[in-house]
């Protein structure tokens, strides 16, 4: 079966991109990354893509007069590369509603919180300020409102008493690197659909067990 042709949009270090590149390096994985675009010149993630032999483009938002013009350049680059599906991976620009609608149900994002809690920037600071005992991450389809849209996969991790935003972010990031390839693989297998703005996964294997924090005696 043909592999799903994926474009990844990044702005920075690209560790989630790396997890997707690593998954796509497996011959049995049903997706391939055909283009990585960064809006930030010199983003570390571009080097990751190049080392994996993947095409890259830099589309610097500062060189466009407004958001729709920047988004049109992104859209054109994705189409020229034959991209079927887009993964946002630490892409720090808000996309226009028109761009989001053009890629409706063909664009996903990863966010470092258990959505719908803690949308936006500094999710771990928000989690610590709220005093939650479980934090986590979410892969979701993109909708015009930031960090909203049908949820595909989530992972939960414990918050420890001496966490700061950095230590919590590192724990969540490890989970991100597991669920982003998981979600993309399910999509590329054709098992994911959106029904009434909720995700249905054909043949979904539900995780077993309960994560309790603090641990029971």
Active site residue 61: no
Distance in Å, CB of 12 to ligand GRF, minimum: 4
**Distances from the Cα of 132 to the Cα of 26, 33, 176, 214, angstroms:** 37, 36, 19, 11
Q: How near is the Cβ of 110 to ligand GRF at its closest, in Å?
A: 4
Among 33, 108, 110, 135, binds ligand GRF (CB under 6 A): 110
Q: Which of 3, 5, 13, 191 binds ligand GRF (CB under 6 A)?
A: 13
Q: Which of residues 40-69 bind ligand GRF (CB under 6 A)?
A: 45
The site for ligand GRF, by CB under 6 A, has a size of: 14
Contacts of 125 (CB under 8 A, 6+ apart): 165
Interface with ligand GRF, residue 154, by CB under 6 A: no
Determine which residue in the list 36, 73, 95, 112 makes contact with ligand GRF, applying CB under 6 A.
Answer: 112
Q: Are the CB atoms for 15 and 173 separated by under 8 Å?
A: yes
């Amino acid at each position: 079966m043909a592999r799903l042709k994926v474009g990844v949009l990044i702005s920075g270090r690209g560790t989630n991109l790396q997890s997707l590149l690593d998954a796509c390096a497996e011959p049995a994985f049903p997706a391939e990354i055909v283009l990585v675009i960064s809006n930030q010149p010199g983003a570390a993630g571009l080097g990751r893509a190049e080392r994996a032999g993947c095409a890259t483009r830099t589309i610097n938002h500062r060189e466009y007069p407004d958001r729709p013009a920047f988004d049109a350049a992104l859209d054109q680059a994705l189409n020229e590369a034959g991209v079927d599906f887009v993964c946002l991976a630490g892409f720090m620009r808000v996309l226009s509603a028109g761009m989001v609608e053009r890629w409706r149900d063909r664009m996903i994002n990863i966010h470092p919180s258990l959505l719908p809690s803690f949308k936006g920037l500094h999710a771990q600071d928000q989690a610590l300020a709220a005093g939650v005992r479980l934090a986590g991450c979410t892969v979701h389809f993109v909708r015009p409102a930031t960090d909203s849209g049908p949820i595909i996969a989530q992972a939960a991790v414990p918050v420890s008493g001496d966490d700061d935003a950095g230590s919590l972010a590192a724990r969540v990031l490890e989970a991100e690197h597991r669920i982003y390839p998981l979600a993309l693989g399910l999509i590329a297998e054709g098992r994911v659909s959106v029904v009434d703005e909720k995700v249905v996964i054909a043949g979904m294997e539900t995780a077993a067990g309960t994560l309790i924090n603090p641990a029971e005696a």
